Amino acid sequence: MTDLLNQLNESLGHVNHWITIFLILAGLYIVVAKSNMIKKLVGLSIFQTSVYLLYISPGKIVGGTVPIISEGYAVYSNPLPHVLILTAIVVGVATLALGLAIVVRIKEAYGTIEEDNIYAQDWD
């Protein structure tokens, strides 16, 4: 029974990685393939957010708990990845805010936020 569980766990481990990778790629695909500037920014934040999983999941420890030292617990998950990702989240939202400000200005200057149309107007 435990063997079976272990095996299941092992294959799920790979599958979990693959889904994480799928999320990263889907975000990147939106950024590269789509033309709408706001949609690209949404894709960019999905791309960034999915990367967080690559950091947080190795920090988890079996039987571990939240890294807040308290009596009765001995095993804690690694706090370092959490700190790094907190910083990354903040950087991500700062980039989003700035990107949206630029998009608003582009809308005012060009009358559109479709990248294709903008290049058609100014660069031919």
Minimum CB distance to other proteins, residue 78 (Å): 4
CA of 2: how far to CAs of 11, 54, 92, in Å?
14, 27, 41
Name the DSSP class of 65. B
Minimum CB distance to other proteins, residue 2 (Å): 15
Choose between 3 and 63: whose C-beta lies nearer to other proteins: 63
Question: Do residues 41 and 101 lie in contact, with contact meaning Cβ atoms separated by under 8 Å?
Answer: no
Minimum CB distance to other proteins, residue 3 (Å): 15
Judged on CB neighbours under 10 Å (0-12, 13-18, 19+), 71 is exposed
Minimum CB distance to other proteins, residue 1 (Å): 15
Quote the CA–CA distance of 16 and 18 in Å, as a whole number: 5
